[in-house]
Structures are given as C-alpha cells and as structure tokens.
Structure 1
Amino acid sequence: MAPPSMRLRAHRVLLPEGPIRPATLTIEQGFIQEVTEGGTSKAVLLPEDLLLAPAFVDLHGDAFERQIMPRPGVMVDLGVGLLDTDRQLAANGIATAFHGVTWSWEPGLRGTATGRGVMDWLNAASRHLCAEHRIHLRFETHNFAGLDEALRLIETGRIGLLAFNDHTSKMAADALKPSGNIGNAYRAGVPVARFNELALAAAARSTEVPAALKLLAAAALARGIPMLAHDSETPEEWRTFAALGCGVAEFPLNLETARTAVDEGHDVVMGAPNVLRGKSHMGWVSAESLIAAGACTILASDYYYPALLQAAFRLAQGKILPLERAWDLVSRNPARAAGLKDRGRIATGCRADLLAIATPPGMPPHVIATWRQGRPVFGPLLHGAEGASGR
C-alpha cells in the first residue's frame, strides 16, 4: 500500500528551530513536502490543545524482553510477544525502534537462538507492523561461539547498530559468590551451578576478546554500521572503543567519561527512565545531571518505552532544556547517530513520522495519535483524512 498524501494543520507544532507555533504540513507519499505558517481549508485540523511533534527514534530498547519472557524463565511465543511490543511502541510514539538484542554465550532469553528468532520474526512480519523495527545487536564481548554469525549479520546488513557489551566479567565475579547469578540463571533457563560454569569458562578466554572485537569493528566500519560502547567506566576505556570506530558512548558510568566522549566529538546516550525517575536504577550517574552539563546528546527508552515522552517534558518543566532542545535528544539526535537523515524532524524532505500529544492539567503528557510515514498507526484521529487508513 502506497504511503498516503494529506495536509495536516496544528496550532502547536514543535519545529526544529522553535518556538512552538502554528503550521501546516503538506505530506505526499509519506514525506513532508512543505511546512508553511498559513492554513488551508483542505487540511485536517488537530484540536487546538494538542502538540504536533516528531515521532521518537529509539536507539536502545530492550523492553521487548518482558513481552517474550513476562516472568523470569517463562517464555511465550515470540510472535505474540513481539506483536504486543509493536503496539506498545506505536502507543508511546516510537516510529523507529532499535531493539537491543543481546548476542550472548548465555542460553535462554539473551542467547543467540532467541536473538535469531526475534530477527527472523520481525523481518517476516514487517509489513504488518506499526513501527519500523531495526536491530541494535548487543554483542557480548566473550561470545566467541557467536562471532562468525555476528559477522554474517553485519555483512548481510541485517543489523542497524552494533554495541560492545561486557557483562561477562561481572557474571564471572558473581559466580564465586554463594548467591551469585541466581537471576541470570532463571533468565537463561539453566541451574545456577551450570550458569556459573558457563560464565567462568567464557571469562577464562578474556585474552581473546580484543582480536574478536577488531574483527567485528572492521566489518561494521566497512558496512557503515554505527557502533556503541556500553557502560564505559573510564575515559581510557571509552577511548579504547573509540579507537575501534565507536561513535557513541552508551550509558557511561560517570560524568568524566561522558564529558570525554562529547568533548572529542562523539555522542553519549543515556536512559530516559533515568531522567523520569531522577536517578539510575543501578546507582550510577544521573542522566539529568549529564544533560545539564552538556554531556549527554541522546536519550533511549532502555527498559521502559513510555520514558521517552515523559523525560522530554520533565527536562523542559525543570528548565534543564527548552522543549525543542529536549526533543532533539529523543528524535533528531538519535536519527543522526544512526545514520537516518530522513527522520527525527518536522522539516521539508523528512519522513512524516509524527505524534499528537495531549498535556491536560493534572495528567502526564500522553500520545493521542502516532503517524509513520503519514499513515496513522495509533489513535482515533484522522480516520476521515485523505489516504489515512490503519496499517
């Protein structure tokens, strides 16, 4: 089905240059062809109190794991869980979602078999889905058994982002504790003793990690796939990954590391739930403090899709950033970092990925309607608009 064409007018539009003001969007074949201040009798007019804004581009979301494993060790059909995820994305204004698919030596939820299944199902079902689903491959640095397949995923263009994660070192340390890795073992679907054996065996090959990462990084650079370094603890650690070609520091643990990345021309992504809650759930650095210091350029949903919308408004309400600049963290900047120049802004030539947002007194801001390439994928609005029909 061809993307629709229509004119859409709103009294409150979040444009890149700010401030919020009235505008009419001419949308043809799913792209914004023109943005004007004047109105037209042929435009669909949004209610005056709604804000029209760019839809979210989410660089790292792993909340889908809760849909496919709603309780520890309890897996459901991948299709059922991922379809539910898709509807949650649309309802929360996420038009482009990079799923944080962990590619680990672990069995179960974060193993390669599950990751492969997620990718295969999303690819097969793509024309039925509301959001655009992409893969952020979280390569566990000690997953030597999964290295060759990861290289093939890169070379065949099946992933959109590559991140380097080292959870193995902590898991190996926890394996030496009496209660270590109980939760991880549940997630993997194996006894604790077996999980600890696997963790220690993986960690024993740490000297082989640098060579494996160089292979992956070279393949990603050749393919033009952006890379991220996860949970960097020091500026020196971050620079090691930057030297491989990583352009994004993902969830750095402190201000010094985040500041180093930004000062050297790279992006820093933090979790939107960190902003929403006012603190890290892991006890690490506050995302809001990094943003206030100019040391965070992107927010991701991380483990909670609603956090993107709430975080942007919280930053504006707290006068940390004006709303249009806060919105850059959840739309324009992640699109740029992912190499997606056609989205993240309400501007001529960009995709018509849009949100209508209500901000009633006494209620959290919430999404009333979501459009992906001009087609409504969530909400009751625009059913009478030219070319506007459900996906």
Structure 2
Amino acid sequence: MQGKAELIEGARVIFEDRVETASVRIEAGGITGIDVARDGATVVPGRGRVLAPAFVDIHGDAFERQLQPRPGVSVGTEAALLETDRQLAANGIATAYHALTLSWEPGLRSVETGWQVVRALEHLRPRLTVDNRIQLRWETFCPEAVPLIAHVLAGQDRPALAFNDHTSAALLHPSVALHDRPFDQVAEYPLTDLAAPAFLHKMEARAKRSHMTTPDYVALIAEVWSRRPQVPALIDHIAALARAHDTPMLSHDDSQPETRAYYRGLGATVAEFPMHERAFLAAREGGDLIVLGAPNAMRGGSHLGSPGAAAMIARGLCDILASDYFYPAMLGAVVRLLADGVADLPALWKLVAANPAAAMGLTDRGRIAPGLRADLVLLDWPEDGPPAPLRTWVSDRGGYSAL
C-alpha cells in the first residue's frame, strides 16, 4: 500500500491521553495528519469502530507451536514463521520480538533450532508483513549459544537480550517455592535430589520435548549443573557484548531484590515476569520497567502463582504486557482490565504499545501522531461484545484486512 494515501475517517481514536472521534491520514508508511482534508486519499470508513496504535509485543513464544504443533512433531521453519507472521498481523501486532530460547536442551529450544529460526527470518525478511525481531532468550548455562548471540547482535534488526536461568529453577529443592528461590548465584543453593521420584516425574515432559529418555535428560542436566562456576563470567561476557551493540536487556523470573540488582548492574533495566512482590518493589525502586504476561491479565491471574497482573497494574508495578504464549491475549488483556475498572483505555493501551516500544528504544511507533509509523489496528468493538481486529497497518509493508 506504499504510495497511496488513506484516510481512516471518523473512528474513535485511542491517543496517549484521550479517546476521541478523529480521522487519521497515512501515506508512504507514515501518519501524515489528524483531522486533515482528504486531499485525494482513499477513505477507510471508521465510524462505529476504534482505531488504536498496533501492538508492540516484546516477548512472545507462541511461534513455537508453529514450529512444533505437537510434542515431537516439527514442521519446516520457514513455513512455520510465515504462518506466525500472518497470525501476528491478524491479531493487531505490528512489532514482535520472538522469545527465542537458546538452551543446552536438544530439540525445540536448542541452539541448533535457534540458528534455523534466525536464518529463516533473515531469508524471509522481504516477504514478512510484521516487523519480526528476536528476543535472545538466553539460558545462562549455555555457552554454546555465544556465536549465535554475537551474530544476531551484529545484525540489522536490533534484537533484545533476556537472561534466563531455568537450570537453577529446575534443580531447586522442592521445600523452596519457585517464587521464593534465592539469587541464582548464592553459594549454598538449595539443590534437589536428582534421584527423587517427584523430580524424575517433573523431568519427563522436558525429556519428551528434547527427544530424550528421562534418565538421559537427568544425566544431561546434572552435567550442565557442573558448569555453574563458569556461569558468572559467561554472563559478564554476554552482557558486555549486548552493551557494545546498545541492545535492550531484560532479566526473566526475578524472585529476589538481589537478582534484580545484579542484572540491573549489567545493564538489564527491564524486569520480565518478576515472581514475587519484593522483586516488583525492587525493580520500581531501581527505576526499572516491569513486564508481565497479557494472558495473566486476560485470565485474571498467573498460571504459575506469580502476582496477578491486574493488581500490579493498579499498584503502578507493571509497565508492559507481552503476549507470552498467546497472541490474542494483548487485546484480551485490555478488554478484561477495562471491564474490571483497573484503568482507563488510554492508560491500558500504553501497556501494549507506547511503553513496550519505548522499552525497546523504538521511538517511531506505539502512538498515533503525525510523523510516526503508520502501525495501526482498526477494531470492530461493539458495546455488547468483545472487539476483533478488522485491519492492521504495518508501516509500508501492507498488513492484514478483514474488511
């Protein structure tokens, strides 16, 4: 649609500080005016509809279900990512950071799969509608991922880097709740018994995902745990690489103020899915941004027992909602939070557009104003029913339309 001007006329427009009826003119991938003359533009009827900034999703791993529709059943990477791109556009998401787990595990979350996804996105770039980017969701016990991380950091699409330690979490002694686990690098970490029946049962699903037997998987995680003394230096190295490329950094599942302070000191000023109130408070005190999952807000609570997104938003302890594992949740979360009176619509929309864009350093999107990208979503939003995207504009890339 590049070159031809369009005027989205008479919609209720979600601006940063208000919702009001207006017309928005776009041309050559950008917003060129608010309530201006048609001036030869093609008119898109907006009356009775809602026009909003398209979603900016900084953590989504639903693409894994396209790569592996059933456990152990994989499909072609490029076909999977083309389908993901279309799902994103149909859900009003114009910018998506795929949370690409880079783990020591074989299979879906392996470094090998990571390379396949990265190469496929590079090859498909001219054919994609949405601005597909990568969140390097790096497992800190995985030195094998360093060449891939360096490659992506040096690429043309500025990624994000998230520090994950699911190894320590998996090996936590069952007497300690996951949301109470200590800082990952404490000297006397409360380690589980690797021969305990409950632990072996917990590892069954991970083993299946990795195409391994449970005993072999347990032997592998034990070998990986032996790397623990080298992990802090490896984290320092990766953080330095990210800082050199001015890459936004996040830490994942913080449970202690000490954890948040450690990653903040490395330059990770975004706390992603904190697991305890004390971690939220530490992040806010330190001036960090806080990310929670939109499914948490849409469903009315976390499936892991972490603090509820609605309560944290109401307390000013959540800045961003991400799709996590379900792309439609970004819109669904706004609907639920609005119905529950958590905040007004402009404030809620910042959680899914302006704030995540700012967190990633994307100053050209997330808001509706002249001079910004025309990343927009037009919604059919009846008073007595849930909204649905009718059309998504993604700058000059085309978009999605159900009109």
TM-score by length of 2: 0.90
Does the 8 A contact of 2:54 with 2:377 survive in 1?
yes
Does the 8 A contact of 1:10 with 1:52 survive in 2?
no
Structure 1 equivalent of residue 14 of structure 2: 14
Structure 2 equivalent of residue 254 of structure 1: 276
| 1:214 equivalent among 200, 218, 236 | 236
Determine the C-alpha separation between the residues in 1 that align with 2:146 and 2:152: 10
Q: Structure 1 stretch 201-210 or stretch 319-328: which is displaced more?
A: 201-210
CA shift, 1:348, in A, is: 1.4
CA shift, 1:186, in A, is: 1.2
Does the 8 A contact of 1:10 with 1:22 survive in 2?
yes
Q: Are residue 283 (structure 1) and residue 282 (structure 2) matched?
A: no
Aligned pairs for 1:43-82 (under 5 A) are 44-82=43-81
Flag the 1:206–1:130 CA change in 2: closer, same or farther, 3 A. Answer: same
| 2:202 equivalent among 155, 163, 180 | 180
Does the 8 A contact of 1:333 with 1:344 survive in 2?
yes
SS in 2 for 1:74: coil
Give the partner amino acid of 1:32: I
Determine the C-alpha separation between the residues in 1 that align with 2:401 and 2:2: 20
Deviations 1:297-316 (A, max 9, x none): 00000000000001112212
Give the partner amino acid of 2:374: A
CA shift, 1:8, in A, is: 2.3
| 2:211 equivalent among 180, 185, 189 | 189
Does the 8 A contact of 2:61 with 2:99 survive in 1?
yes
Aligned pairs for 1:304-323 (under 5 A) are 304-323=326-345
| 2:221 equivalent among 180, 199, 210 | 199
SS in 2 for 1:95: strand
| 1:334 equivalent among 356, 368, 392 | 356
Structure 1 equivalent of residue 380 of structure 2: 358
Does the 8 A contact of 1:137 with 1:159 survive in 2?
no
Deviations 1:266-296 (A, max 9, x none): 1000000000111111111111111111000
Structure 1: give runs of 5+ residues left out of the alignment.
382-391
Structure 1 equivalent of residue 123 of structure 2: 124
SS in 1 for 2:202: coil
SS in 2 for 1:283: coil
SS in 1 for 2:321: strand
Q: Structure 1 vs Structure 2: percent identity of aligned residues?
A: 41
CA shift, 1:71, in A, is: 1.1
Determine the C-alpha separation between the residues in 1 that align with 2:72 and 2:120: 21
SS in 1 for 2:200: coil
- Over the aligned positions, Cα root-mean-square deviation in angstroms equals 1.9
Q: Structure 1 stretch 312-321 or stretch 161-170: which is displaced more?
A: 312-321
SS in 2 for 1:329: helix
Structure 1 equivalent of residue 146 of structure 2: 147
Flag the 1:148–1:47 CA change in 2: closer, same or farther, 3 A. Answer: closer
Determine the C-alpha separation between the residues in 2 that align with 1:362 and 1:74: 40
Aligned pairs for 1:230-269 (under 5 A) are 230-269=252-291
Deviations 1:242-270 (A, max 9, x none): 00100100000022211221232110000
Flag the 1:339–1:36 CA change in 2: closer, same or farther, 3 A. Answer: same
Give the partner amino acid of 2:272: E
Aligned length: 380
Deviations 1:338-372 (A, max 9, x none): 01100000011110010011122443211111111
Q: Are residue 225 (structure 1) and residue 224 (structure 2) matched?
A: no
Q: Structure 1 stretch 293-302 or stretch 183-192: which is displaced more?
A: 183-192
Structure 2: give runs of 5+ residues left out of the alignment.
173-191
CA shift, 1:81, in A, is: 1.6
Give the partner amino acid of 2:129: C
CA shift, 1:17, in A, is: 2.2
Q: Are residue 92 (structure 1) and residue 114 (structure 2) matched?
A: no
Does the 8 A contact of 2:152 with 2:159 survive in 1?
no
Determine the C-alpha separation between the residues in 2 that align with 1:329 and 1:104: 29
Give the partner amino acid of 2:17: E
Flag the 1:315–1:3 CA change in 2: closer, same or farther, 3 A. Answer: farther
Structure 1 segments, 4+ long, off by >6 Å, are 37-41
Determine the C-alpha separation between the residues in 1 that align with 2:96 and 2:208: 27
Q: Structure 1 stretch 311-320 or stretch 175-184: which is displaced more?
A: 175-184
Deviations 1:111-164 (A, max 9, x none): 011111111111111221221100000010100222243234324456510000
Deviations 1:2-30 (A, max 9, x none): 45432222331111121x11222222211
Does the 8 A contact of 2:30 with 2:373 survive in 1?
yes
Determine the C-alpha separation between the residues in 2 that align with 1:3 and 1:97: 25
CA shift, 1:40, in A, is: 6.9
| 1:345 equivalent among 367, 380, 383 | 367
SS in 2 for 1:178: helix
SS in 1 for 2:161: strand
CA shift, 1:170, in A, is: 2.9
Does the 8 A contact of 1:255 with 1:295 survive in 2?
no
Does the 8 A contact of 2:295 with 2:324 survive in 1?
yes
Deviations 1:15-54 (A, max 9, x none): 1121x11222222211112223777785514242110000
